[in-house]
Structures are given as C-alpha cells and as structure tokens.
Structure 1
Amino acid sequence: MSVSENNSVCTIRIGEIEDAEKILEVKNAVISEGKYLISVSEEVNNTLEQQREWLESLLENEKGTLLVAEVNGHLVGWIVFHSQDRKRMSHIGSITMMISQNYRGMGIGKNLVKALINWAEKHPTIEKVSLGVFSTNHRAIALYKSMGFIEEGRKIREFKINENEYIDDILMYKLVK
C-alpha cells in the first residue's frame, strides 16, 4: 500500500474473477488511446465472459499471476505475468501492464512492477521477467530501467503505425534469481 501526493491510497492485490469487468474497462480505455499498445480498438472486442475465462485460466496457472491496483477502492490498473509452457522456457515469463490514463505518474506502475518482481523472486521456478515496450514510450522505459530492467534487444520497425511511421519494440528483462 502507498499514498500518492493527493493522499489517495493505492493498494496492490492479487486479481480475482470478480475484477473481470473493471479489468476489461481499463484495457479498453488504454487501447482506445492508441499510443503504446500493439492492438488497436477495432481488434479488441472481448466480451465480459471471455475476460472472465481469461482471468480464470490465468489464476489457475501456477506460473502466472495478475496483480491489480486500486485507488480508494477503485481498480485503476493491472499487471499480468504470462509464463511459458515449454520445459526449456519454464523459468521465464513476460509482463503486460495497463494503468488508466488519469492515474499515471502517481507511482502506481512502479508499485505494480515492484509487487510483481517480489512475487517472481519468491516463485520456485521463475528466474527471468521479460517485456516488450514501444520505443516511443519513454516514461515506461524509464520506469522499467529504474526497476532494474535491462534492454536486451530491439526489433526494428516492428510496429507499423501508418504508411510512413514505424516504432521499434524494445525488449527488456530482469533476472530475479
């Protein structure tokens, strides 16, 4: 738990099936911004039932987790860890994080990443946490670097935004064991 500069209380907890609707709302709002995600709005049309099914499968997976951030009781962001099923990749996984626009810059992302790293460090098999981030998402890159993530590669012109605009995908990692 932490307190932001406006005395709002931020709580990080494990996500639950009952969070599906709010998680979907955050996801749809962030995607609709069109700035820093691979998906665009017209590609994402998950129903609430599909979101619940995704959450259920994630929460049943011993090598994955979902953490949510609440400010004064309202779900405003989340981070998910996806693990690999293949034996030779079972020690790694990747994260995806989304935070409602009005709650960025308050330390919520840092709290989510910190809680996720803490979870991964305690996990018996997870050794490496990875992520991909748009090269234009300077705030996220700075956050990940401040949390000990290291750039391990870059996929050049990985995302085509329009006819003449491309964005690189920066690959980052943090060893937790």
Structure 2
Amino acid sequence: MVRIQKEVVEEEDFLLTDPTEFHKTVDDQKQWIQRILQNSRETILVAEVDAKIAGWLVFQSPNRVRLNHTGSFGMMISKEYRNMQIGRRLLEALLV
C-alpha cells in the first residue's frame, strides 16, 4: 500500500501532497489501518488482483455528534490497474 501511495503522490496530479512531503513508512501504514479498523464509523476496502494489492478505498467520518451524518473517502489505484473498473467496484462496495 505504501508503494502505491508513493507512486500516486509522485504523479502529482491527484493529491495535494507534494512528493517531498511523503514520508510514510510501512509501520505508519499499519498503525493507520489499525486505527481505521478499530473505529466503527470508518472502513477500508482493499482491491486485489492475482493476490497483489491493486488499490484501496478508505471512508472516514468525524467523531463529532453534529457531523455524524458526514464522511469522506479517498481512493488510490495503482497505475498498472487503472481503467479496469476497480475504482468503480470499490465505490459500489462502499455504498452497499
């Protein structure tokens, strides 16, 4: 997942993060995933192709009473797996 995120950040077209600002490690990613999995208001969906991570979608919702009805999602798809409907399938799975 970190490799895909670094790849997407380096494209510079899709994220606000500048490549020089990206310093996430595998341990950072593991801790982030654990926080998401421990929060009932958040979820992460991972897409695999031939047992390789192709991308993921994360939905996060603020832990504030007045924002209970809101949330946001982010998605990253590895360049080699784009245009294969993976993003669409992740969105559909989130909405189900």
Calculate the TM-score normalised by the size of structure 1: 0.53
Q: Tell me how far 1:91 sits from its aligned partner.
A: 1.8
**2:82 aligned partner:** 104
Q: Which residue identity does 1:84 align to in structure 2?
A: P
1:60-84 Cα deviation digits (max 9, x unpaired): 0000000010011110100000111
Instruction: Judging by fraction of residues, say which structure has more strand.
Output: 1
Distance 2:54 2:36 in 1: 19
**1:25 aligned partner:** 3
Instruction: Judging by fraction of residues, say which structure has more helix.
Output: 2
Q: Quick check: 1:43 aligned with 2:18?
A: no
Cα RMSD between the aligned structures? Answer: 0.8
Runs ≥4 residues deviating over 3 A: none
**1:65 aligned partner:** 43
Higher RCO (Cα < 8 Å, 6 or more apart): 2
List runs of 5+ in structure 2 lacking aligned partners.
none
Distance 2:37 2:72 in 1: 15
Q: Tell me how far 1:108 sits from its aligned partner.
A: 0.4
Larger Rg: 1
Q: Tell me how far 1:88 sits from its aligned partner.
A: 0.7
Q: Tell me how far 1:36 sits from its aligned partner.
A: 1.2
Distance 1:24 1:90 in 2: 29
State the percentage of identical aligned residues.
39
Distance 2:61 2:11 in 1: 27
Q: Secondary structure at the match of 2:41?
A: coil
1:16-75 Cα deviation digits (max 9, x unpaired): xxxxxxx11111111111111111111110121111111110110000000010011110
Distance 2:31 2:53 in 1: 19
List runs of 5+ in structure 1 lacking aligned partners.
1-22, 119-177
Q: Which residue identity does 1:77 align to in structure 2?
A: G
Distance 1:76 1:99 in 2: 6
Calculate the TM-score normalised by the size of structure 2: 0.95
Q: Tell me how far 1:90 sits from its aligned partner.
A: 1.2
Match of 1:77 among 47, 50, 55: 55
